[in-house]
Amino acid sequence: MISRSDVEHIARLARIALSPGEAERYRRELGKILEFVATLEKADTAAAEPLTGGTDITNALRDDALGATAAERAPGAGLVESAPEHRDGYVVVKAVFERS
């Protein structure tokens, strides 16, 4: 168990001002944390394999395959081609202004 003087010492090292009520609360909370850590230390881990990545998944990404371009996937992608007359990706229309 951690003493109140230990909590006050830690607070001074961390330059934290604690009221008497806070010091008591932190003493209880730190005591519970240290008890839990002591429980974890008792666990038999001799047969456990060490973990390096935390998962067995090697590649969770999709295959890098050639697909439709962004222009082909865009809404109205076939609109230009459906026009009566089109050239180089543009719809051909009659001139609105006269050339001078």
Residue whose pair of structure tokens reads 């109140």 in the numeric block: 4
pTM of model > 0.85 = no
Cα–Cα distance measured from residue 7 to residue 32, given in angstroms and rounded to the nearest whole number: 13
pLDDT digits (tens, 9 = 90+) for 7-60: 999 999 999 999 999 999 999 999 999 999 999 999 999 888 887 776 777 777
- Which residues are within 8 A (CB) of 77 and not within 5 positions of it... i.e. 6 or more apart? 71
pLDDT(5) > 70: yes
Closest CA to 6 of 75, 17, 24: 24
Domains of the chain: 4-41 (1.10.20.60)
Task: Kindly list the distances between the CA atom of residue 73 and the CA atoms of 43, 44, 68, 70, 78, in Å, as whole numbers in the listed order.
Answer: 55, 56, 6, 5, 10
Looking at residue 58, its amino acid is: T
